[in-house]
């Protein structure tokens, strides 16, 4: 089996879980480019902005490494924080289909389990979550260049997943179009430092910054616009 799991993973819900309404749910992935710095912080900020708009939100991630534990029991502090920030305290197994052992990177962790990270497994988990909430926010995998297997990078997996992408980047950092895999639908970006200017990345909406906060109205507009666009036109023009 693909999952590295040990012990009970359930936790009391912060609200009673209820089926969501008939409207299509929003979903996005929050990722860095070359590394995963600020991915968790940015995903939490995006979720707070969506919850402030009255949306029910679940936070998860496609795959994560566990933290070393003297007891040998699997645990991940980042995944626990994502779970706690959602509208409902869902089981961590539902929020992350690949809970892997501690290792140098996700690729090494998957190799330890003799498994390959499969986009269809992630899609299935995402589909289940989207039946319960209005919005799903996925934390990235340690940057678009993170190694997930011998021939698989995080950006390639996210392009297959085809969810709107929110990139975390420093203000005035050069636009990173060249680092984006073909087919990756970019919805917008967040500044990792001081409040950025829209001109910092022409053609891609800025939805706020980690210091100044996320603009909920811009965020919703960017996600809805990206969700309605054909996949091959959801990227900025070169």
The secondary structure of residue 165, as a DSSP letter, is: E
Which of 12-16, 44-48, 111-115, 144-148 shows the lowest per-residue confidence on average (mean pLDDT)?
12-16
Which of 91-95, 168-172, 176-180 shows the lowest per-residue confidence on average (mean pLDDT)?
176-180
Closest CA to 108 of 149, 56, 50: 149
In this predicted model, what pLDDT tens digit does every residue of 16-55 receive, in sequence order?
A: 444 444 456 899 999 988 777 799 999 999 999 999 999 9
- At 23 the pLDDT is 56
Tell me the average pLDDT across 212-234.
Answer: 79
- At 45 the pLDDT is 96
In this predicted model, what pLDDT tens digit does every residue of 176-192 receive, in sequence order?
A: 555 677 778 899 999 88
Closest CA to 94 of 65, 53, 136: 136
Measured between alpha carbons, how far is residue 141 from residues 30, 89, 115 in Å? 9, 22, 17
What tokens were used for 190? Answer: 């967040």
**How many Cβ atoms are within 10 Å of 198's Cβ, its own excluded?**
11
Classify each residue of 74-88 as buried b or exposed e, where b means 16 or more C-beta atoms within 10 Å of its C-beta.
bbbebbeebbebbbb
- At 199 the pLDDT is 57
Which of 98-102, 115-119, 185-189 shows the lowest per-residue confidence on average (mean pLDDT)?
185-189
Task: Write down the CATH number for the domain with range 26-233.
Answer: 3.40.50.300
Tell me the average pLDDT across 112-118.
Answer: 94
Q: What are phi and psi of 3, to 5 degrees?
A: -90, 145
In this predicted model, what pLDDT tens digit does every residue of 62-71 receive, in sequence order?
A: 999 999 888 8
Tell which wins on pLDDT, 208 or 169.
Answer: 208
- For the chain, the average pLDDT equals 82
Q: Is the model's pLDDT at 89 over the cut of 90?
A: no
């Amino acid at each position: 089996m693909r999952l590295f799991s040990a012990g009970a993973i359930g936790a009391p819900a912060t609200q009673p879980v209820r089926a969501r309404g008939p409207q299509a749910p929003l979903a996005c992935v929050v990722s860095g480019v070359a590394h995963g710095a600020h991915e968790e912080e940015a995903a939490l900020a995006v979720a707070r902005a969506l919850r402030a708009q009255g949306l029910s939100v679940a936070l998860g991630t496609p795959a994560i490494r566990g933290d070393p534990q003297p007891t040998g029991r699997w645990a991940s502090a980042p995944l626990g924080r994502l779970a706690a920030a959602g509208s409902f305290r869902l089981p961590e197994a539902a929020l992350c289909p690949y809970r892997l052992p501690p290792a140098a990177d996700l690729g090494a962790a998957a190799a330890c389990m003799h498994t390959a990270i499969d986009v269809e497994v992630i899609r299935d988990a995402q589909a289940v979550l989207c039946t319960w909430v209005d919005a799903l926010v996925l934390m990235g995998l340690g940057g678009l260049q993170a190694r997930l297997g011998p021939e698989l990078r995080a950006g390639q997996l996210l392009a297959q997943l085809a969810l709107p992408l929110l990139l975390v980047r420093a203000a005035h950092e050069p636009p990173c179009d060249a680092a984006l895999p073909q087919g990756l639908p970019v919805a917008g970006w967040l500044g990792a430092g001081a409040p950025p200017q829209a001109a910092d990345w022409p053609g891609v909406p800025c939805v706020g910054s980690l210091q100044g906060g996320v603009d909920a109205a811009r965020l919703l507009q960017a996600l809805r616009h990206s969700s309605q666009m054909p996949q091959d036109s959801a990227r900025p023009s070169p």
